[in-house]
Structure 1
Amino acid sequence: MKNQSLLHSWSSSAKQLVQPQRSSDVKAKYPAPSTLPFSNDKKANRLLSIDALRGFDMLLIAGGGTFLVLMKDKTGLSWINWIADQLTHPAWHGFTFYDFIFPLFLFLAGVSLPFSLNKGLEMGMNKSDLYRKAFWRMVILIVLGILDKNAPFPFFEPSQIRLGSVLGRIGLAGFVTTLLYLNYSWQKRLTVVGIILILYYAALFLIPVPGYGAGNLTFEGNLVGWIDRTFLPGRLLQKTYDELGLPTQFPAICLTILGAMAGDILRTTWSENRKVITLLLVGIAGIIFGLLWDLHFPINKHLWSSSFICLTAGMAFIFLAGFYLIIDVLKFRKWAFFFMVIGMNSLTVYLSYRFIDFMHTSKLLFGGLYAPPPEPWHEVYQAFGAMLLVWFFLYFLYRNKIFLKV
């Protein structure tokens, strides 16, 4: 009966989404400038699902899936090999689940922004204060990103410094999204996303690359690589281009802008079921649009193609809907604690995995336990032990309320 009631409520919410409304009703229900009714209940706005989903994402970004990759061809189980393949990037065109991990984090950075920005406004901060805070956060993340990607830092070899970084991209996307969020409605922000993706698509197909011509999407001849080689100083990760370089910043920002729109959906006074349905419908639309665009503009993480952005944004909306439904609506929370511990210290886990050799520590602590199995399995157990060490390190910080934030 409970499930029937839930399904009936979802059905009613879906009808509300598609039924036309009189302009007077819309104006009353969705006041300007945001056109969405938001809740001022701070307790209700604390969503554990966002921390859990961020933790799930960060676990894979920081190498939590390494032991699964290392299990490939060791078990004789085809499904294990399939999972291992999904946790590696394709060589060029194509898509695996691992391609979704960084876009999901960019999206979640946007989901959190409406909560933090509106909290700042409620505390009496003006827009200039919020701009300044977002700007310095961007600067700090860019610096941390450069240190992360170049450790040990080549102080005396500037040509070997890689400027593109994960943290830098997050900082830039957050700053741009902050500017747009504080000044434009969601309709205008969505228009910005559309313009960026279409112009990016047009540029890669219409602007000729010296020696290759226009519309060349090969590894060597694409426009993204030519711009990076020509205008981005320092070391390029892929030699002919850098997937975190200059042109790909523009489509990547769109994920954070769309994430802010998802955050606004979660902040509305709509029923929980309506929020879930809205997130699901938007997600499905994004996936369909991405797959259709893929017919001409291939899904490609290296190029951050427009079809790739639509696909991963759609997936992010659906994952957010699922986590929100299970954790914050249905209140099934115990399983999510493992991920929440990681998600509440995401910057810590990212940097600690870079500068602390958890794999070596795992070998020292647990090497005697996994010595009996065949030697090819040792690396699997070592990686699994490293993941556990990271989690207990973060759990120690969580228990002592130590959180590294920028």
Structure 2
Amino acid sequence: MEQKPARLRSLDALRGFDMLWIIGLDSVFHALAKATDNSFFHLMSEQLHHVPWEGLRLYDLIFPLFMFPSGVSIPFALTSRMNRGWSRRQILLFIARRAFILVFLGMVYNGLLDLRFDTLRVASVIGQIGLAYGIAATVWYLIQNVKLRAAVLAGILILVAVLQLMIPVPGFGVGVLTPEGIFNSWLDRTILPGRLHAGVYDPEGLLCIFSSAALTLAGTFAGQVLRAAPAPRVRTLYWFAGAGVVSILLGAACQALGYPPIKSAWTTTFNFYAGGISLLLLAFFHGVVDFPKRNWSFPLQVVGMNPLTIYLLTRIVAFEPVAEFFAGGVARLSGAFGPVVLAVALLIVEWLVLWFLYRKKVFLRI
């Protein structure tokens, strides 16, 4: 039987880096921008807001940077189960079960337990992660031929572009890339039950789920390369960096032709940009985390090994009063930098909770 590979530190560190922005690191930079006249902090604060529709900022990459590593982990997780003798039926049920539970948890996050079904938002961030994972994992498992798998990836990207650019939307026409007129909006309004997050469309709607599955599926190619390597190889860094640059150039070409990156509609152009930047970041983290013998990334790994836990806890638990209890005095004496102190304290409190769970070996894994 094949020996179980060691856990990839860089993947946990990359997830942890990503989650830090979600749980409060963005607030640190917003507070620093308000407290200072520093141009860098003001630029970062602007970049840490979503674009209203078309375009791309750093904050628009937070979500895809979580979905891409979920694809990277697929070859590790499923191959491990295959090596333990799991049957085809067991693996497909595992994939379906994981996707279903994430959709359910997403609805819980959106207020399912409030029992107001007329205003419940069915679509969710966690649900999109789950369904995109389900599509990508099923494709990876059922299609062993790498070229055919790549063809499926290309097919998803092309189909999304065709639907958004060439299929007429009732009342709007063909290729109308506005919040009201894009194909995503018509599909969500027609089929998706419950409340739509943006009224006329949902940024985690049906076509967004299908399109983002391409990004997750792209992650499986990187995951397979990493899993096949007996040890970190410099050549892998070159491959990831090169593929990342090519993907970004494809995104730039699509944008130049009039097909913009729209995160809320998850256009193919956005997929190219997000995939390319994710590959570059994976190459960077693989190089600086997996190559050195010393594990300097432990603080990031603590977050990255329990991302779903902290995401749900920030919705359920009020961490802010705890941070204010311990750091309120220092914040009061810090003048204009008081909000900075509280934002940093909040991050520390959240990290300590995750560290405690790590020490107790408590991980929310689905």
Q: CA RMSD in A?
A: 1.7
Offset, 1:87: 1.2
Alignment match of 1:258 (pick from 218, 225, 247): 218
Map of 1:179 onto structure 2: 138
Map of 1:244 onto structure 2: 204
8 Å Cα contact 2:330-2:341 kept in structure 1: no
Is 2:300 aligned against 1:339?
A: yes
Give 1:6-405 correspondences, 5 Å limit. Answer: 40=2, 42-43=4-5, 45-150=6-111, 153-155=113-115, 157-184=116-143, 185-269=145-229, 272-295=233-256, 296-331=258-293, 333-334=295-296, 336-374=297-335, 376-405=336-365
The residue matched to 1:160 in structure 2 has which SS?
A: coil
Q: Deviations over 1:59-109 (max 9, x none)?
A: 112233212123224211000111111111011111111111110111101
The residue matched to 1:64 in structure 2 has which SS?
A: helix
State the one-letter code of the partner of 1:127: R
Q: Distance in 1 between matches of 2:339 and 2:331?
A: 10
8 Å Cα contact 2:330-2:338 kept in structure 1: no
Number of residue pairs matched by the alignment? 363
Kindly name which structure, 1 or 2, has the bigger radius of gyration based on alpha carbons.
Answer: 1
**Structure 1: stretches of 5+ with no match in the other structure:** 1-38
TM-score of the superposed pair, with normalisation by structure 1: 0.86
User: Given the superposition, is the C-alpha separation of residues 160 and 123 from structure 1 closer, same or farther in structure 2, using an over 3 Å criterion?
Assistant: same
Q: Percent identical across equivalent pairs?
A: 35
**Structure 2: stretches of 5+ with no match in the other structure:** none
Considering fraction of residues, name the structure with more helix.
Answer: 2
User: Given the superposition, is the C-alpha separation of residues 132 and 78 from structure 1 closer, same or farther in structure 2, using an over 3 Å criterion?
Assistant: same
8 Å Cα contact 1:224-1:248 kept in structure 2: yes
Q: Distance in 2 between matches of 1:70 and 1:188?
A: 49
Q: Distance in 2 between matches of 1:351 and 1:148?
A: 7
Offset, 1:40: 4.8
8 Å Cα contact 1:300-1:308 kept in structure 2: yes
8 Å Cα contact 1:154-1:160 kept in structure 2: no
Q: Deviations over 1:315-356 (max 9, x none)?
A: 11111111111111233531x111000011111111111111
Q: Deviations over 1:115-136 (max 9, x none)?
A: 1111111111122111111111
Q: Deviations over 1:217-268 (max 9, x none)?
A: 1222222112212221211111111100111111100111011110001022
State the one-letter code of the partner of 1:122: N
State the one-letter code of the partner of 1:318: L
Q: Distance in 2 between matches of 1:319 and 1:372?
A: 38
Offset, 1:379: 2.8
8 Å Cα contact 1:111-1:262 kept in structure 2: yes
TM-score of the superposed pair, with normalisation by structure 2: 0.95
Q: Distance in 2 between matches of 1:40 and 1:58?
A: 32
Offset, 1:199: 1.4
Q: Distance in 2 between matches of 1:70 and 1:189?
A: 45
8 Å Cα contact 2:331-2:339 kept in structure 1: no
